[in-house]
Amino acid sequence: MKIFLKTEDEIVLMREANQLVGKTLGELAKHIKPGVTTLHLDKIAEEFIRDHGAIPTFKGFPNPYGGPFPASICTSVNDVVVHGVPNAQTVLQEGDIISIDCGTLLNGFCGDSCYTYCVGEVSEEVKKLLRTTEEALYKGIEQAMAGRHVGDIGSAVQEHCEAQGYGVVRELTGHGIGQQMHEDPQIPNYGRRGNGVMLKNSMCIAIEPMITMGKRDIWLDQDRWTIRTRDGKPAAHFEHTVAVRKGKAEILSSFEEVRQIEGKQY
């Protein structure tokens, strides 16, 4: 395991890359409505990212099980947990939820964040899933301070979500981030306090709860990318990139742009 601590100048560049992700997610919020295809959203995102001088890091990302990722964002609708592939056949419907995971490479450093959107009016049951998942993200972030451990983050997420009866996906994790989109260490959404890698000042990590309304079991679709809940129930996914600090963690990415467009939907 090789963990790269960032300099303050590098964290400035990390923040710029992550703020662009936030702006991209905000731009997408303008277009998420019934009748829109996930492929259309992908084209908007890629154009927006490139117009701002960055590269979409997801496009061409290698897959050990198949071909490279063909798109610039992951669009995961309803029972898709992560890595949904944008396409012309998936049309958003009233009452759907869609998580959009987005990554950028700007000035040599990566940004990575994910937000789960409501399409029109969704059920109160689904709104609660989104609310709980986002709350868990911030509970995890509260633990991202120097001297704590990776297990403290995972435990905070797990306890909050399982107390509400939700499933916490085990097979997929958050991660370190810097010049590469995925660096050490892995950041699971479950664990025991005091266990795992100790967090150090200026580590940059992506924390990303992936939470299911039913059981936590998942399966891989035939496209070798799309990961769904095994019981077909909805899943939510929220992600921030943060810099570990001696006190309160510094959130480098942003949901503010999304909130300005859609307000608080849940």
Chain segment 66-81, per-residue pLDDT in tens: 889 999 999 999 999 9
Q: Taking residues 103-122, what's their average pLDDT?
A: 98
pLDDT of 73: 98
pLDDT of 249: 97
pLDDT in tens, 166-177: 999 999 999 999
Q: Taking residues 221-250, what's their average pLDDT?
A: 97
Contact 93, 34 (CB under 8 A): yes
pLDDT in tens, 176-191: 999 999 999 999 999 9
pLDDT of 264: 76
Percentage of the residues of the chain whose pLDDT score is greater than 90: 96
Q: Return mean pLDDT, the chain.
A: 97
Percentage of the residues of the chain whose pLDDT score is greater than 70: 100
pLDDT of 65: 81
pLDDT at 262 over 90: no
pLDDT at 263 over 90: no
pLDDT of 242: 98
pLDDT in tens, 190-225: 999 999 999 999 999 999 999 999 999 999 999 999
Grade residue 32 by pLDDT with cuts at 50, 70 and 90: very high
pTM (two decimals): 0.97
pLDDT in tens, 83-101: 999 999 999 999 999 999 9
